[in-house]
Structure 1
C-alpha cells in the first residue's frame, strides 16, 4: 500500500503544479475609459480612467474628467500628457499642477498611470517627472510603452516606474495613404519584436477595440471618423480596393460634409488580429502580467472577448 502511494505521489504533485500553473496564467480583462466625463452605471469591470488631458498651445491646457457617478473600486487614474507639453512646461510646475489636480479626485486609488509618448529630447525631463510623481504621491506608478521604445530601449531609456503597459496599437502612420491599418497591423508589429527578452520592466498588454475611417483628399489625411462600421459604406461609396472607399457624391456623412472624390480608409480591430497580437505578446514578454487592457470600455461588447483566451 505504501509502495502504491509512493508511486502516485509524483503524479499528484505534477497535477497540482499543472493546476496551479494554469490558475496563475488565467488572463484577466480590463478597460480604458477615455471620455471627458465619467457616467457609467453598474460597471463591474476594472477600469483605467483618463482623469487629466494635458496639452500645450500657447500655454498649458488641462482638461479634467468630470465624475458624475462613482467609479468601481480599484480603478486607476490615467494622466495623458502630450510630448509638447512635457517639453514646454517647467518640470516643477508640471509636477505641482498634476499633483494638485489629482487631489481633486474624490475617490481613493492606489496607482497612477502616465500616458506620454516621450522623445529623446524630453526623455530626461520626463523621467525626472516620473520620479517626482512617484515620490510625492506615494502611489504605485505605471506608464504606457510603445513598441519602438522596447526595440530601441538603449536610446529611448527605461522609465523609472513599477511597470509598463505596452500599447499594441496605433503602430503605423495614420496620415500615410498607403498604410493598410494604422490601428493594428501584426506584420508591422513584428518588425518591432526585439529586446523583449532583456527589457527590464514587467509589462501589461493594451489592445484596441475601436474602428475608424480616415478621410483623404488628394491622398492627404484631413479627418477621422471614429466608430465606423462597414455597413456605413453601403450607400454613396465605391469600394476601390480592400477597405478603401471613394465618395460618389458630396453629402453629409456622420454630421460632416464630405466631397465627391474623397477617399475613406476603413480601419478596424479585427478579432483574428487581436488573437494573433495577444498570442505574440505572451510568447515575447519575459515576465508579463496576465492582464489585457482594452481601449475602450465603450466597445466592450464588440466581441465575446473570452474567446480570446
Structure 2
C-alpha cells in the first residue's frame, strides 16, 4: 500500500511539473523589430517595435526620421536608436528637447517608447539624465536596451532609470577580431556573462537575432560588412576553408562591393538550435522577466519556425 502511495505521489509530482512547464511554454509571446529607414510593411496582427529615429554624431548632431510609406500597427512601440558618441557629445537637455519636438511631427500616438543605446562609462551620466528628462516630459512607459556585460558588471555600468529592460542577446563579441567565431550569436561567449541575473533590478525581455551577415577580412583586418547574406552566396568563386569561413578564389563583385582574391569572408548566421539554447539559458537565468521574445528583425521571420521554437500551438 505504501509503495502504491509513493508511486502515485511521484507520478503526481511529475505530472504537475510537466503541466507547469507546458503552461509556461504556451504563455510565451513573440514580437518583432523593424529596423528599416523606410517602413513599407503591412502588418496588423504582430506586435512590433519600430525604429522611428536614428540619431548619431559625426561633426554635428544628425537625426534621421523613418519614412513611413505604410501605416504602422495601432499599438506598436516606437524605438529610438542613439549612438554612444552622441551621448558623449550632446548635452542630455538639448537631445531630449530635440527628440520631443520631432515626436510631435509623427502622425501616430503611443503609450510606450524604447531607447536603444550601448552606453559607456563616459556617457552613462548624460544618458541616464536624458532618460529621466524624457520620462518626466513624456509621462509614458520607457524601456531601454541592455547588453550582457551591463548585467554582469551592473554595479559599475549602472542601471538605467527606466520601467524595464530588453536584453539584446546577440552581437556580444568583437566584430573586427579575425578569431571571432560568430559575432551574431555565440552561446559559448554568452555563458561568460551569465552572472548577476538574480540580483539585477530591472525586469527583462529578451531580443534574439534572426539575421545573417558576412565580414570581409584582408590580412586578418576587417574591411567590410555585408548584410542579408545566405549560405548559397558562397557556392561560386569561394573555397570553404573552415566551418564558416570562405576564401575568395577570383576577384569579383559581391553584394555590390568588389572583393579581391584571397580575401576571407566570415559568414555569420543562427539556426533554430542556437536560438533555443539562447532562449533556454535566458529563461533559466532570469526569473524577473516578461515571457515575451522580440526577434530582430521582422523581415527574416519566415526563415524559422518560431512558433515551434517557442512551443506555441
TM-score by length of 1: 0.92
Alignment match, 1:4: none
**Deviation (angstroms), 1:91:** 1.7
The CA distance in 2 between the partners of 1:30 and 1:266, in whole Å, is 26
Task: Report if the CA contact (8 A) 1:25-1:290 is conserved.
Answer: no
Alignment match, 2:82: 81
Q: SS of the counterpart of 1:300?
A: helix
The CA distance in 2 between the partners of 1:125 and 1:24, in whole Å, is 39
Alignment match, 1:57: 58
Alignment match, 2:212: 211
Alignment match, 2:248: 247
| Bigger Cα displacement from structure 2, 146-155 vs 105-114 | 105-114
Instruction: Please provide the CA RMSD for this pair.
Output: 1.6
Runs of 4+ more than 3 Å apart: 18-21
The CA distance in 2 between the partners of 1:263 and 1:166, in whole Å, is 31
Alignment match, 2:147: 146
Alignment match, 1:306: 307
Q: SS of the counterpart of 2:289?
A: coil
Counterparts in 2 of 1:88-103, with a 5 A limit? 88-103=89-104
Gaps in structure 1 of 5+ consecutive residues? 1-10
Change (3 A) 1:25 1:122: farther
TM-score by length of 2: 0.91
Q: SS of the counterpart of 1:223?
A: strand
**Deviation (angstroms), 1:286:** 2.2
Alignment match, 1:283: 284
Alignment match, 1:222: 223
Q: Deviations over 1:31-61 (max 9, x none)?
A: 0000111111244211100000000011001
The CA distance in 2 between the partners of 1:64 and 1:296, in whole Å, is 19
Change (3 A) 1:219 1:71: same
**Deviation (angstroms), 1:292:** 0.4
The CA distance in 2 between the partners of 1:105 and 1:305, in whole Å, is 32
Q: SS of the counterpart of 2:101?
A: helix
The CA distance in 2 between the partners of 1:128 and 1:42, in whole Å, is 35
Residues matched between the structures, number: 295
Alignment match, 2:188: 187
Change (3 A) 1:202 1:249: same
Change (3 A) 1:134 1:25: farther
The CA distance in 2 between the partners of 1:225 and 1:184, in whole Å, is 16
Change (3 A) 1:23 1:149: closer
Alignment match, 1:8: none
Task: Report if the CA contact (8 A) 1:198-1:286 is conserved.
Answer: no
Q: SS of the counterpart of 1:78?
A: strand
The CA distance in 2 between the partners of 1:194 and 1:42, in whole Å, is 37
**Deviation (angstroms), 1:68:** 1.3
The CA distance in 2 between the partners of 1:255 and 1:180, in whole Å, is 25
Q: SS of the counterpart of 1:289?
A: strand
| Bigger Cα displacement from structure 2, 187-196 vs 37-46 | 37-46
Alignment match, 2:6: none
**Deviation (angstroms), 1:20:** 11
**Deviation (angstroms), 1:299:** 0.3
Task: Report if the CA contact (8 A) 2:252-2:260 is conserved.
Answer: yes
**Deviation (angstroms), 1:243:** 0.7
The CA distance in 2 between the partners of 1:36 and 1:265, in whole Å, is 26
1:266 paired with 2:260, answer: no
Task: Report if the CA contact (8 A) 1:210-1:269 is conserved.
Answer: yes
Gaps in structure 2 of 5+ consecutive residues? 1-11
Q: Deviations over 1:182-208 (max 9, x none)?
A: 000000000000000000100000000
